[in-house]
Amino acid sequence: MRAVLRRQFDDFEKRLRVMARTDTRTQPLMTTPGVGIIVALTFASAIDDPSRFKSSKAVGAYFGMTPTRYQSGETDYSGRISKNGDSSVRAVLYEAGHLILTRPLKGCTALKSWAMRIAKRAGMKKAAVALARKLAVIMHRMLADGTPFTTQPA
């Protein structure tokens, strides 16, 4: 039984690799640290047409990675993330953000140092969500421009 499942899994993984290598939208996305085949394919299929967003900042809200706001009278506070939108995209982006925070990866020192400053004051989970939102914004811009990832100071 395990051998059959393993063969099916390997076959599925090969098909995903072929899909990712032949899709022109996923190739630049996979140059981003922490972003692999699954994240690139999931994000590219969820975004579909990058021009439907006014700005790249709107992508974070589209996937529910921005804080909710409560305003009433003199009361005004930010809550937890809204969790609107596609939960599978939010999950893979969170995993990519968590991967950047917890593993040594090349080419993401600016992103990691930015997220670690957030982690010091708010915790690792909130930093991973913030980094996931930032990755979504960066990856949307990459899809819109068709450019690969470049390191920039945070």
Q: What is the DSSP string of 64-104?
A: T-SEEEEEETTEEEEEEE---S-HHHHHHHHHHHHHHHHS-
Structural contact between residues 135 and 90, judged by C-beta atoms closer than 8 angstroms: no
Residue 14 lies in a domain: no
Residue 77 lies in a domain: yes
Q: What is the pLDDT of residues 69-101, one digit of tens each?
A: 888 888 887 778 888 888 999 999 999 999 999
pTM of the model: 0.85
Residue 16 lies in a domain: no
The answer, yes or no, to whether residue 139 has pLDDT greater than 50, is yes
pLDDT-derived band at 152 (thresholds 50, 70, 90) equals low
Residue 42 lies in a domain: yes
Residue 3 lies in a domain: no
Residue 121 lies in a domain: yes
Number of domains observed in the structure of the chain? 1
Q: Return the structure tokens found at 81.
A: 């993330």
Residue 75 lies in a domain: yes
Percent of the chain with pLDDT over 90: 57
Domain with 78, as residue range(s), is: 25-145
Give the count of alpha carbons within 13 A of 68, CB side only. Answer: 7
Residue 36 lies in a domain: yes
Give bridge partners of residue 81 from the DSSP assignment: 67
Distance CA 109, CA 115 (A): 10
Structural contact between residues 131 and 90, judged by C-beta atoms closer than 8 angstroms: no
